[in-house]
Amino acid sequence: MVSSVTKSDTAELPAGIKEPVQETLLTPRFYTTDFDAVAQMDLSAQREELDAVLAELRTDYNRYHFVRDEEFKQCWDRVDGETRRAFIDFLERSCTSEFSGFLLFKELSRKLKDRNPLLSEAFQLLARDEARHAGFLNKAMADFGLSLDLVELTKKRTYTFFPPEWVIYTVYLSEKIGYWRYILVHRHLKQHPEHRFYPLFNYFENWCQDENRHGDFFKVLLRSQPKLWNTWQSRLWSRFFLLTVFATHTLTVLERADFYESIGIDPHEYNQQVIQHTNETAKSAFPSILDTNHPEFFPRLEQCSIANQKLTDISSRQNHPAIKFWQKIPWIAVIVWQLLRIYLLPSVDAEASRNSIN
């Protein structure tokens, strides 16, 4: 996928260019998809809901929100040590994730412009928000003497192809889990302002509403396509994507435990709350969700995190690549086995639950 990035999308920053982190399974990835298939999607079943979501996106509630105030204009050297390292890591991964969304949405908008103007406009509005988020995060990195060369990043990263159905499932979940990540941090820091060591946190409440609106848009896409929620295959896929997103979140949060502890949050408790809320939210879109209350659910995810740490330790050793490969095999097997056991746990029939309410 080729996408142009202009100065209006991401402002140049007077800071040292940070070398992007090495790509791993947990690193935010860049995606492309089948643009022809997206252009041909029939959205008539959800047209009323689509119009409502588009009206909200057009309103652009956060047009004037992401403006740096006077509080940013100070030296941030007092944020040092592990807190500084962990926070920069958080900023970089978050910025890369937002920029990845911007690239995909902008390219979708460009490809659909003459074939599906309504969807093209929607993706352009989504790209607007993602560019705004990425730029704001990159400016925050500049306060710590670093920034990402986002234009160069588009040339160095490889693009992963996802069919439109996978894009809809995963982006819906990433936006909704993003909402819960930001809102729970906001609520915590509202109760404990002594842990708010940097003004970026003041923006999380409005920020998460962008995530929520984006998720609502992808929910409309999902519910407009019966094959994504009204078949036995869709029940298997929905649980699969829930599990992959929750597993990735668990590994990432526990890998970044230092960051969450620096703002007074227990990473294990935070991870569980985010997953439980996101799983419950997905009940309104997916035909089947995971049973996060099952006694085996979180302990098995924690075992995956422990195995992931072992893999990280092995990667950091000065051993021959072949030796590292064989040392990693048992821990990879642990992760695969634990995820399989979670996937095979009894699921929750979200469609039946929704119908009983109606």
Annotate 21-37 with b (16+ C-beta within 10 A) or e (fewer). Answer: eeeeebbbbbbbbebee
Residue 251 CB contacts under 8 Å (≥ 6 apart), including other chains: 26, 304, 305, 308
The pLDDT of residue 10 is 42
The pLDDT of residue 17 is 59
In the block, tokens 């990735």 appear at: 248
Average pLDDT rounded to a whole number, residues 269-297: 97
pLDDT per residue as tens digits for the range 93-123: 999 999 999 999 999 999 999 999 999 999 9
Average pLDDT rounded to a whole number, residues 232-250: 97
- Residue percentage of the chain with pLDDT more than 70: 91
Domain boundaries, the chain: 16-214, 229-358
* Side-chain-side CA neighbours of residue 177 (13 Å): 27
Burial class (CB in 10 A: 0-12, 13-18, 19+), 276: middle
Interatomic CA distance for residues 247 and 6, integer angstroms: 35
More confident residue, 21 or 97: 97
Q: What is the mean pLDDT of the chain?
A: 90
β-strands 30-32, 159-161 pairing: parallel
- Name the percent of the chain in helix, strand, coil, to the closest 5: 70, 5, 25
Which H/E stretch holds residue 165? helix 164-191
DSSP label at residue 41: -
Interatomic CA distance for residues 144 and 129, integer angstroms: 24
Interatomic CA distance for residues 324 and 343, integer angstroms: 29
- Predicted confidence (pLDDT) at residue 290 exceeds the cutoff of 50: yes
Q: Are 206 and 170 in contact (CB under 8 A)?
A: no
* Side-chain-side CA neighbours of residue 344 (13 Å): 6
In the block, tokens 């990433």 appear at: 174
Q: pTM above the 0.85 mark?
A: yes
Specify which residues 147 forms β-bridges with: 17
Q: How confident is the model at residue 23 (pLDDT cuts 50, 70, 90)?
A: low
- Predicted confidence (pLDDT) at residue 152 exceeds the cutoff of 50: yes
The pLDDT of residue 266 is 97
The pLDDT of residue 11 is 44
Query: What is the phi/psi pair of residue 161, to 5°?
Result: -85, 125
Interatomic CA distance for residues 280 and 284, integer angstroms: 8
Q: Which two tokens stand for residue 7?
A: 């100065």
- What is the secondary structure of 231-293 as a DSSP string? SHHHHHHHHHHHHHHHHHHHHHHHHTHHHHHHTT--HHHHHHHHHHHHHHHHTTT-SEE--TT
- Predicted confidence (pLDDT) at residue 146 exceeds the cutoff of 90: no
The pLDDT of residue 12 is 44
Burial class (CB in 10 A: 0-12, 13-18, 19+), 197: middle
